[in-house]
Structure 1
């Protein structure tokens, strides 16, 4: 199995006090972390790529732990999450899909066993490509107040032979959420949907 070669890790945290409405007493936090790694499959077709997911598991846990720490370290304060990947131009979309299990299960482990599927997105892109990573509530996907996205990217990444793997977390609903639907306080948490 190929070794994970990390070129860089980037962390970003936003403290959002308002979006034009009343100022929040406690700012809403949104955080993103991503690793830019060498794509061991770049420039060629490889049939069996699944073993690389095992190699990515420690990276997933490390990034989830780092992001949680950047957001204050208290897993009970995290309410939303998502993941994504940008594949450099010499790779294929399927290489980005290798992040689904290592990224998603790492966040679930670090956050203490959330119920909802971790939303995801991926694309092939050139240097400087941006990605809107979807966010949903970590215990119920239909909590409308937590529908969000976090844009990520880096001016020098991903290079053609690289992968950019990202995790995102939030500490609550959008700062001025008022669009109705299932509220976080009403989650039953039986199936990860409602």
Structure 2
């Protein structure tokens, strides 16, 4: 959890909260190439929902206060980046569902790395990907994971725009909410 109260300029009226929840799981595909891996996405759905709900709770318990989100995965060295891609659907849809049908695609990143690898998880507005004030990232990682046969799965949420966002573009209050873009 992070609470940002100042970032140059005048302190904001309301601090920005950013939070991440991470899970370390065994990678069932580590160590060998497997052609058919898609079924594992279904297995990850309950974990995604649990993580999303826990993160909302950690950020104050009000899903309506969440304005930004993102997801990511770090795959241990006996795996491949495609194993991290298995988190796209269960991680993304879990957050969208827990937040009441958020419209925007959940931005994502993934990579293969050793224990201690860090990951910058991209963040965008939950209802419109073109809201520049909410373009952000949160660095996540664990000192002892992922081991070679593990994956670290991450969800990130924020309660607002970057402090002092002022680069123009679509404003959150002008979102149409039709297509997840604008």
Question: TM-score band (shorter)?
Answer: over 0.9
Quick one: which of 131, 137, 160 aligns to 1:172? 160
- Whole-angstrom distance in 2 between the partners of 1:19 and 1:153: 23
Q: Give how far 1:107 is off.
A: 0.2
Question: Alpha-carbon deviations, 1:142-166, whole Å to 9, x = none?
Answer: 0000000000011111100000000
Contact 1:18–1:176 under 8 Å retained in 2: no
State yes or no: 1:42 paired with 2:25.
no
- Whole-angstrom distance in 2 between the partners of 1:169 and 1:127: 24
Gaps of 5+ in 1: 1-12
Quick one: which of 163, 174, 177 aligns to 1:186? 174
Quick one: which of 105, 108, 117 aligns to 1:120? 108
Which residue does 1:66 correspond to in 2? 54
**Runs of 4+ more than 2 Å apart:** none
- Whole-angstrom distance in 1 between the partners of 2:146 and 2:180: 33
Which residue does 2:120 correspond to in 1? 132
- Whole-angstrom distance in 2 between the partners of 1:158 and 1:28: 29
State yes or no: 1:163 paired with 2:151.
yes
State yes or no: 1:87 paired with 2:60.
no
Which residue does 1:7 correspond to in 2? none
CA RMSD of aligned residues (A): 0.6
Matched pairs, number = 182
- Whole-angstrom distance in 2 between the partners of 1:168 and 1:141: 15
Which residue does 1:52 correspond to in 2? 40
Taking structure 2 as the reference length, what is the TM-score of the superposition? 0.99
- Whole-angstrom distance in 1 between the partners of 2:9 and 2:71: 29
Gaps of 5+ in 2: none
State yes or no: 1:22 paired with 2:10.
yes
Taking structure 1 as the reference length, what is the TM-score of the superposition? 0.93
